[in-house]
A and B are shown apart, each in its own frame.
Chain A
Amino acid sequence: MKVKNKELKIVFFAVMILFAIFLMAPIIMLLVKSVWKDGFSFEFYASVIGQNGFFTALKNSFQIAAASAVTATVLAFIIAYGVHYTSLPKWFKSCISFIATLPMFLPTITYGFAIIYSFGKQGLLTRLLGRQLFDIYGFAGLFVGYVIYTVPVAFLLIHNTMEFIDKKTLIVSKAMGDHTVSTFWIAVLRPLLGTLAGAFIQAFFLCFTDFGIPASVGGNYEVIATMLYNQMLGGIPDFNRGAVIAMIMLIPSVGSICILQILERFNIRYNRISQAELRKNAARDFGWGCSSVLISIFIVSIFAVIFVVPFVEEWPYKTGFSFEHFAEVFQDSELLSVYGHSIFMAACTAFLGTLIAYGAALITARSSLSNGYKKAIESIALITNAIPGMVLGVAYLFVFSGTSLQNTFLLMIICNIVHYFSTPYLMMKNSLSKMNAGWETTAMLMGDSWVKTILRVVTPNALSSLIEVFSYYFINAMVTISALIFIAGARTMVLTTMIKQLQYVNRFNEVFVLSLLILATNLIAKAVFSKLANHKLLTSKQ
């Protein structure tokens, strides 16, 4: 037992040191910056709060985030219900699930441009419908973008819980004489309440802290995220005031994570999951089928433009088919090297991130280390979950500017690992804690050392989860922009930050080509990783 603890302690301290330098220090620095310039003072807070338009931006952020989060949760619920509670054909269900998660594979900044090119004055949909549906700059544009951005997250959360709801309660409720509404409440809605609230808060958090969408369609509708960006990288950068805005952005984020923790306790747990036969109901299937199709069309129609614009000569004036833009991008060595950077950064993030998440999860799920150690890891996961990417990026700017880490890939990779740590860690912990608790003891009795046991028994059995974690890190590193915008340098450009640059010079054809590249890369990566993960799962079951 002593030996086992020693190795795990090494893992523990390695993880601790990493997060001390790259999470705690930057956040403390941020706090200091917000109250310190030649002495302690609250003047920056006072000046930011007193600034013209600050409260409007704050109110705007809250309003738009809340409206989008409610809508996204409702839409996600409708799709998830269609998947779990109807007898629609299997291919249809996989199709709508796929479309519901599709936006995850694209950077948020692309949604903005997709909205401009779909609903704008010369947009694809505007042209098809013959008139502009709404003014895209401002509330409406942000709303559409945020909804699309958060539907996938809300859908995955709801989808996951629905899988674990005992479907037989539907039959019991009917047999007890409940009306449709009561049945819906007791067998579907009530067990989902915690998750629905969780999905709303998660979506709210994402909207509140996202930078990509307001960067493209915000217009004059200022939100906190754009304010922060302008303060830091705008005409007259003011780091102290930037720090204050970052701190203010942190408050609702921390708040929402606290609420999520509390909600966790309200979640209903079914200890058995049983599949009941759903009754035949053509009207139900038709109704949910149509609603899901409408939502899917809505999502796809906005993205359709990404597939159209790069393939025409010059949108919107010359609409003949052309490969020219692709050819240009592929001949542009700068753009190609940016693509290489992205792949490199995503792969490194995925590899190192998976290692760190695995190490941390081993401590909490499969060790006899005392509770203090485990709590420390848990709190790290919680904090990373509550820190918006933009805040992290700004904080890194303060700490690492002027050091040899400034503008390096290493810093960007670590930033991504820290930023996205929470979900991979929880995925790993879940999967490790489900494994037989006696493995280490058994293997040790057979003469294995702890390291050997981990390598020979635990890792092979955790392989499919490890692959999933790898895939999660990879895809997120490909699409993330909020933190990187502050720390990527001229020589460490990645696709998302490049898109932001191209926006300045109005090279939208390239923007869409690059977006397509990201999408294609992510879809291929996802397909390959799922195949690998399933393969591992099957072979280990045999």
Chain B
Amino acid sequence: MLELNNIKKSYDGVPVLKDICLKVNDGEIISILGPSGCGKTTLLNLILGIVDADDGQILYHGEDLTHVPMEKRGFNIVFQDYALFPNLNVYKNITYGLKNKPNVSSKEEVEELIDLLGLREHLSKRIDQLSGGQKQRVALARTMVMKPRILLLDEPLSALDGVIKESIKERIKTIAREYNLTTIIVTHDPEEALTLSDRVLIINQGTISQYAKPEEIVHKPKNDFVKRFILNQLEIKRNNIYALFGDNTRLAVETGGVSLL
């Protein structure tokens, strides 16, 4: 279990995270959701270990990681822009970490990952020959080879389009399930967050607005912010889709009593 206790962080005197308390269970997929500038990326960087908290504690299975440097925490991240090494081909990117820790994954495990992520046919390609979705899967494979204790994903879907988005979503879920891997995802898209994760952490202006299961957020939004910024978007989408499919019943907006029209 990952635990954050009273985490505080400010930049140049401006508080970015105020008193964040949070528990994540093993094998859970968590999404951190919020508008730009709400502090979600800072929170991710804090967990990863590239940013130090001003105050508070980070515990993993009871072990205090607050002052443990990034490379010793055993967490790993896939960046939004993948940060693949352009001078290495797909296979060499995937197996990059094995140079340092040859025994972390066996040959079979690597092969299994390659198949699971559908990368077999691309192994000898250069990075710039790949599409966005393929790059995302390579970056995911490269990280998974290291068997991270926690997998962090920074906006994993934002650079992808339609169908590929859904397929990557499924892959992330499969991986988390197969490896019982705690996964923390940063996103600004409510639909992504609510359909991908077991629990969603909604952040607004450096504080936790709501931290709950998707159903609970939809049916019992805790405050006005959740209603207006998170649910509103989903309802517009829903209505658009209903309208598109000709079902004009206009299930307008009972949830939370917010009026759309």
Contact = CB atoms under 8 A, between A and B. Distances in A.
Nearest to B83: A168
B50 A279 contact: yes
A277 B142 CA distance: 21
Contacts of A516: none
A280 interface: yes
Interface of B: 45, 48, 50-52, 70-71, 75-77, 79-81, 83, 85-87, 96-97, 99-101, 128, 142-143, 146
B146 A166 contact: no
Nearest to B79: A168
5 contacts: A168-B81, A169-B85, A171-B79, A172-B77, A269-B86
A177 B52 contact: no
Contacts of A276: 50
Nearest to B86: A268
A267 to B, nearest CB: 10
A286 B158 CA distance: 38
A177 B146 contact: yes
A182 interface: yes
- 10 closest A-B pairs by beta carbon, nearest first, are A177-B100, A176-B97, A168-B83, A272-B81, A268-B86, A172-B83, A174-B71, A169-B83, A168-B79, A175-B76
A274 B77 contact: no
A171 B142 CA distance: 14
Interface centre among A169, A171, A179 (most CB of B within 10 A): A171
A191 B86 contact: yes
A176 B100 contact: yes
Interface residues of A, number: 25
A168 B80 CA distance: 10
A171 B77 contact: yes
A314 interface: no
A186 interface: yes
Nearest to A276: B50
B51 A277 contact: yes
B45 A277 contact: yes
B114 to A, nearest CB: 17
Contacts of B48: 171, 175
A268 B128 CA distance: 10
Interface string A160-178: 0000001011011011111
A270 interface: yes
A491 interface: no
B143 to A, nearest CB: 8
B79 A191 contact: no
A158 B142 CA distance: 29
Contacts of B50: 171, 276-277, 279
Nearest to A175: B76
Given A271-B128, A274-B79, A277-B50, A171 B70 contact: yes
User: Which interface residue of A168, A169, A174, A176 has the most chain B CB atoms within 10 A?
Assistant: A176
A166 B79 CA distance: 11
A266 to B, nearest CB: 9
Contacts of A177: 71, 97, 100-101, 146
B156 to A, nearest CB: 14
Contacts of B83: 166, 168-169, 171-172, 274
A516 B2 CA distance: 64
B100 A175 contact: no
A177 B76 CA distance: 10
Contacts of B142: 172, 176
A186 B97 contact: no
A166 B99 CA distance: 22
Contacts of B70: 171, 174-175, 279
A176 B87 contact: no
B100 A182 contact: yes
Contacts of A268: 86-87
B17 to A, nearest CB: 14
Contacts of B81: 166, 168, 272, 274
Contacts of A270: 86
Contacts of B143: 175
Nearest to A271: B128
A59 interface: no
Given A174-B71, A274-B83, 4 more contacts: A177-B71, A191-B87, A268-B86, A274-B80
Nearest to A166: B83
Nearest to A172: B83
Interface in A125-183: 166, 168-169, 171-172, 174-179, 182
B40 to A, nearest CB: 14
Interface string A263-302: 0000011111010110110000000000000000000000
A191 B87 CA distance: 8
Residue in B76, B79, B99 whose Cβ sees the most chain A Cβ within 10 Å: B79
Contacts of A280: 52
B68 to A, nearest CB: 13
A190 interface: yes
Q: Which of B75, B100, B142, B146 has the most CB of A within 10 A?
A: B100
Interface in A177-230: 177-179, 182, 186, 190-191
A186 B83 CA distance: 12
B149 to A, nearest CB: 12
A168 B100 CA distance: 19
A22 B192 CA distance: 63
A276 B96 CA distance: 20
A91 to B, nearest CB: 16
Contacts of B96: 176
Nearest to A168: B83
A175 B148 CA distance: 9
Nearest to B135: A271
A179 B146 CA distance: 15
B102 to A, nearest CB: 11
Contacts of A172: 77, 79, 83, 142
Contacts of A269: 86, 128
A178 B70 CA distance: 12
A272 B81 CA distance: 7
Nearest to B51: A277
A178 B85 CA distance: 14
A227 B136 CA distance: 59
Nearest to A178: B100
Contacts of A175: 48, 70-71, 75-77, 143, 146
A351 B81 CA distance: 42
A191 B70 CA distance: 23
Nearest to A186: B85
A279 B87 CA distance: 24
A179 to B, nearest CB: 8
